């Protein structure tokens, strides 16, 4: 795919000349190299520090660009290439959800629907960059530990780049749709007796070997792709007051915050959003510690939640995420599995948006924050819905449904008409009750 002649390689290989890696904790900077991801002094994942030599206005980007997706913002990405591994990831819908506005009690609520990415989650944004670099690094294979969505995305993008893919998955804890994708794209699947954190440790060790390129979010180049979510929101509605993000390994909330900070540092915007990170009750090492007033997470050995994408006991990017929330005067919140299922149902049945449970955690979080009086009523809130409902078909078992069985055409018609009348009567009763309450 021809992206733009402007993207010809320059300076050091594929990396832009002004790229450095910096430790978020000790602030030491490092020259980028293929195997450097983590600060050797602090054991924290590094961040990419990048100063674009050209900063087009958003009007210019809009005018010139027939390109949708993350490469639309190529000047803001640290990799210079005319040939990225891409499937048009990004440019996902920002959907206004008016019924949720009423429920949450703020002026505007938007859902940034990351389920609309090529493999159905935001992971594709980062995977495009990471796989592009993996190809350039000359690695034989890529390796990823995953609760499912990184696996699905890695398998798809590595196929395009003709790289062998090894996926490390916690056995029995990956949602059906994600497993199906990994199989379909031909990855080699290693099911580990253990949890995600064990899988990640395996990936980190394998990544020290020359043959393997790691695709987990300790790889800071992936987060550079994910930060484009902030640019897209900014391009459509400016800087919102709040951004609510489900948190697992804590890379995405860090990446989105980085995007908004860059927009401010580079003079595009005057304000910053407040970041809210949402974790599930049985898997809340960061959010629980934050709420207790501690200054570091309480890692857990046995995280549990039906939102498997955020079932992580030792989030590798906790330090960056903690900084994102404190710097932005934001917060962390904990939601229960039943809060998540209720939010999944609301989103699907009131707004038509299908989220996997982890994706609906941001909605559950916004509802809970509203109940706690976190919003003043006048704000714009963006909830990031991180993954598609098709990912986890098993999760529909928690939702009531009407299924009628018919023996013939006439029988089917009769049952449909009867059901319609029942529903109309029920709706009428509800409407009468609502009016009685109102008057």
Ligand X SMILES: *Cc1c(COP(=O)(O)O)cnc(C)c1O
SS3 385: strand
> Which residue's CB is nearer to ligand X, number 136 or number 339?
339
Shortest Cβ 93–ligand X spacing (Å): 16
Shortest Cβ 74–ligand X spacing (Å): 23
Q: Is 121 in the site for ligand X (CB under 6 A)?
A: yes
Closest CA to 350 of 305, 399, 307, 281: 399
Of 97, 309, 363, 383, which one interacts with ligand X (CB under 6 A)?
Answer: 309
**Rounded to an integer, what distance in angstroms lies between the CA atom of residue 259 and that of residue 227?**
5
Closest CA to 332 of 345, 342, 322, 340: 322
Of 215, 387, 392, 395, which one interacts with ligand X (CB under 6 A)?
Answer: 387
**What is the torsional sign of CA 120, 92, 157, 192?**
negative
Residue of closest CB approach to ligand X: 387
Give yes or no for a contact between 340 and 364, defined as CB atoms under 8 angstroms apart.
yes
Beta pairing, strands 242-246 & 212-214: unpaired
Residue 189: beta bridge partners? 167
> Which residue's CB is nearer to ligand X, number 149 or number 395?
149
Q: Is 32 in the site for ligand X (CB under 6 A)?
A: no
Contacts of 211 (CB under 8 A, 6+ apart): 139, 140, 141
Fill in the DSSP letter of residue 329. T
Choose the one of Zn ion, ligand X, none that binds residue 331, judging by a C-beta under 5 to 8 angstroms depending on kind: none
Q: Is 246 in the site for ligand X (CB under 6 A)?
A: yes
Shortest Cβ 287–ligand X spacing (Å): 11
Shortest Cβ 229–ligand X spacing (Å): 11
> Which residue's CB is nearer to ligand X, number 7 or number 384?
384
Closest CA to 108 of 122, 92, 94, 91: 94
The 3-state secondary structure of 265-304, one letter per residue: HCCCCCCCCEEEEEEECCECHHHHHHHCCCCCCCCCCCCC
Q: Is 117 in the site for ligand X (CB under 6 A)?
A: no
Shortest Cβ 34–ligand X spacing (Å): 23
Of 217, 283, 284, 331, which one interacts with ligand X (CB under 6 A)?
Answer: 217
- Helices within 117-195 (DSSP H only): 123-137, 149-160, 176-184
> Which residue's CB is nearer to ligand X, number 16 or number 150?
150
Choose the one of ligand X, Zn ion, none that binds residue 42, judging by a C-beta under 5 to 8 angstroms depending on kind: Zn ion
> Which residue's CB is nearer to Zn ion, number 26 or number 430?
26
Upper half-sphere CA count for residue 70 (Cβ side, 13 Å): 31
Mark the segment that binds ligand X (CB under 6 A) among 19-27, 44-52, 77-85, 240-248.
240-248
**Rounded to an integer, what distance in angstroms lies between the CA atom of residue 61 and that of residue 77?**
14
**Rounded to an integer, what distance in angstroms lies between the CA atom of residue 330 and that of residue 243?**
9
- # residues contacting ligand X (CB under 6 A): 18
Q: Is 358 in the site for ligand X (CB under 6 A)?
A: yes
Shortest Cβ 412–ligand X spacing (Å): 37
Tell me how far the alpha carbon of residue 106 is from its chain's centroid. Answer: 23
Residue of closest CB approach to Zn ion: 23
Q: Is 359 in the site for ligand X (CB under 6 A)?
A: yes
> Which residue's CB is nearer to ligand X, number 100 or number 360?
360
Choose the one of Zn ion, ligand X, none that binds residue 79, judging by a C-beta under 5 to 8 angstroms depending on kind: none
Residue numbers of the site for Zn ion (CB under 5 A)? 23, 25-26, 39, 41-42
Q: Is 344 in the site for ligand X (CB under 6 A)?
A: no
Tokens 């398998």 belong to residue: 155
- Could you give the string, one character per residue 126-165, with x where binding to ligand X holds by CB under 6 A and - elsewhere? -----------------------x----------------
Tell me how far the alpha carbon of residue 332 is from its chain's centroid. Answer: 16
Q: Is 297 in the site for ligand X (CB under 6 A)?
A: no
Q: Is 250 in the site for ligand X (CB under 6 A)?
A: yes
**What is the torsional sign of CA 372, 347, 315, 23?**
negative
Angle at alpha carbon of residue 125, lines to 323 and 368, rounded to 5°: 50
Instruction: Strands of 92-241 (E only): list them.
Output: 94-96, 108-113, 141-145, 164-170, 188-192, 212-214
Q: Is 325 in the site for ligand X (CB under 6 A)?
A: no
Q: Which residues bind ligand X (CB under 6 A)?
A: 121, 123, 149, 217, 246-252, 309-310, 356, 358-359, 386-387
């Amino acid at each position: 795919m021809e992206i733009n002649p402007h993207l010809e390689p320059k300076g050091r290989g594929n990396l832009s000349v002004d790229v450095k890696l910096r430790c978020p904790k000790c602030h030491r900077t490092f020259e980028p190299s293929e195997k450097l991801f983590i600060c050797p002094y602090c054991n924290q994942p590094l961040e990419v520090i990048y100063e674009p030599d050209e900063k087009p206005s958003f009007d210019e980007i809009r005018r010139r660009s027939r390109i949708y997706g993350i490469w639309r913002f190529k000047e803001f990405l640290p990799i210079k290439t005319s040939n990225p591994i891409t499937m048009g990831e990004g440019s996902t819908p920002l959907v206004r959800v008016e019924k949720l506005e009423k429920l949450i009690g703020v002026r505007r609520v938007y859902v940034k629907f990351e389920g609309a990415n090529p493999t159905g989650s935001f992971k594709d944004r980062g995977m495009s960059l990471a796989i592009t670099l993996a190809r350039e690094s000359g690695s034989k294979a890529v390796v990823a530990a995953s609760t499912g969505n990184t696996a699905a995305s890695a398998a798809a993008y590595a196929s395009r780049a003709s790289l062998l893919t090894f996926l490390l998955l916690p056995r029995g804890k990956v949602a059906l749709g994600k497993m199906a994708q990994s199989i379909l794209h031909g990855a080699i699947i290693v099911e580990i007796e253990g949890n995600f954190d064990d899988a990640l440790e395996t990936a980190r060790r394998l990544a020290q070997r020359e043959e393997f390129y790691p695709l987990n979010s300790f790889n800071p180049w992936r987060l550079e792709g994910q930060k484009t979510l902030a640019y897209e929101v900014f391009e459509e509605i400016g800087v919102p007051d709040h951004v609510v993000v489900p948190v697992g390994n804590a890379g995405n909330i860090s990446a989105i915050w980085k995007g908004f900070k860059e927009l401010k540092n580079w003079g595009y915007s005057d304000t910053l959003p407040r970041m809210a990170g949402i974790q599930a009750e049985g898997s809340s090492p960061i959010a629980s510690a934050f709420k207790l007033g501690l200054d570091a997470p309480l890692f857990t050995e046995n995280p549990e939640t039906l939102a498997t994408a955020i079932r992580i006991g030792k989030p590798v990017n906790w330090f960056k995420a903690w900084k994102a929330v404190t710097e932005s005067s934001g917060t962390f919140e904990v939601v229960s599995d039943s809060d998540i299922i209720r939010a999944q149902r609301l989103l699907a049945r009131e707004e038509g948006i299908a989220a996997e449970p982890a994706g609906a955690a941001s909605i559950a979080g916004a509802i809970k924050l509203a109940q706690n009086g976190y919003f003043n009523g006048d704000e714009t809130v963006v909830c990031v819905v991180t993954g598609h409902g098709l990912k986890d078909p098993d999760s529909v078992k928690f939702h009531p449904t009407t299924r009628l069985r018919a023996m013939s055409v006439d029988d089917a018609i009769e049952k449909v008409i009867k059901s319609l009348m029942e529903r109309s009567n029920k709706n009428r009763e509800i409407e009468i009750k609502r009016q009685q309450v109102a008057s």
